[in-house]
Amino acid sequence: MADELKMAELLAAVNHIIASRNQAATDEADEMSAPDKKRRVQEDLAIGEGRARAQDYTRILFYNCIEHADTLEDGYKNGLEKMIESLTVLFEFNGLMAGFLFVGLSMGAKPATAIQAAWYFCVIMGFGASVVATLLIFVSTWYLRGNFDEDPEKMINAIVKKWNYINTLSYILTVGQVTMLTIAVNIMVHDLYTDLGPIDCFESLTDGPKCNPNGSYMRMAIFGNVLSLGFFFLVLHFWLNVVYWKDPTRKIHAQHKALEQ
């Protein structure tokens, strides 16, 4: 019996030594492969998949954070912090816009004309889009805050490939609610100026006095509509150009092109 106990203790000691050596070898291998893991994650972010490729904001953000960090773990945590900061700003903007749109709905009267009904429709759609976007951003922020101590490579893959559609949808809804508000304001301006009295009267040689109803006011409304829509499309162009379109000066796009070749 004593011999069996001694043998069991000896086997346990040997197994402990083997396990310790294996763990030390694994830790050493992980430490040696840290730069390789960092490079592999960056390549995966750069090559992308589908139509988005390396044009997605989340990919660009994580790529740059990893690029300027000493380790993959530091870059991953920095990327999470930057994502949360960006989403917090977007959350506040959508909440503010939802408040403005709700005030517009609550202070408005029952629509009496088709153009007023169209205004209400745009405001309602904009309010709904801003509320849904706010909730999506809230969920996404909670998800990101709970992943700081997870495996960086697995979580970056999950954030970019599995759950990034939540952020993309919130971006689309944010642009959508701004679009609805812009249309509603233009409808309101148009309706305001068309309700004004006739002006631009002139003397006709054949028919006597004539008045062009709402002539100058209508021109003012059209000018306001064109100006606001022009600014809206200009801002939309800048947003797409900065966030989504490929920029050959970015490192992620240069690596994407190199990997494709």
pLDDT tens digits, one per residue of 29-86:
455 467 777 788 877 877 765 444 546 788 888 888 888 888 888 999 999 999 999 9
pLDDT of residue 32: 46
Is there a domain that residue 129 lies in? yes
pLDDT of residue 216: 57
**Rounded mean pLDDT of 131-139?**
93
Is there a domain that residue 55 lies in? yes
Range of the domain at 88: 49-195
Q: How far apart are CA 241 and CA 211, in angstroms?
A: 47
Is there a domain that residue 60 lies in? yes
Question: How buried is 7 (Cβ within 10 angstroms: 0-12 exposed, 13-18 middle, 19+ buried)?
Answer: exposed
pLDDT at 8 > cutoff 70: no
In the block, residue with structure tokens 């750069």: 46
In the block, residue with structure tokens 């006739």: 198
What is the value of pTM for the model shown?
0.71
The answer to whether residues 59 and 41 touch, using CB atoms and an 8 Å cutoff, is no
Is there a domain that residue 159 lies in? yes
Those residues whose C-beta lies under 8 Å from the C-beta of residue 75, and which sit 6 or more positions away, are: 38, 62, 65, 66, 67, 68, 69, 152
Is there a domain that residue 30 lies in? no
The total domain count for the chain is 1
The answer to whether residues 124 and 105 touch, using CB atoms and an 8 Å cutoff, is yes
Who has greater pLDDT, 185 or 240?
A: 185
Is there a domain that residue 56 lies in? yes
Is there a domain that residue 32 lies in? no
pLDDT at 132 > cutoff 90: yes
Tell me the pLDDT of the chain averaged across its residues. 76
Who has greater pLDDT, 48 or 177?
A: 177
pLDDT at 88 > cutoff 90: yes
DSSP state of 110: P
Is there a domain that residue 217 lies in? no
Dihedrals φ, ψ of 104, to 5°? -60, -40
Contacts 24+ apart (CB under 8 A), 258-261: 259/43, 259/46, 259/47, 260/47
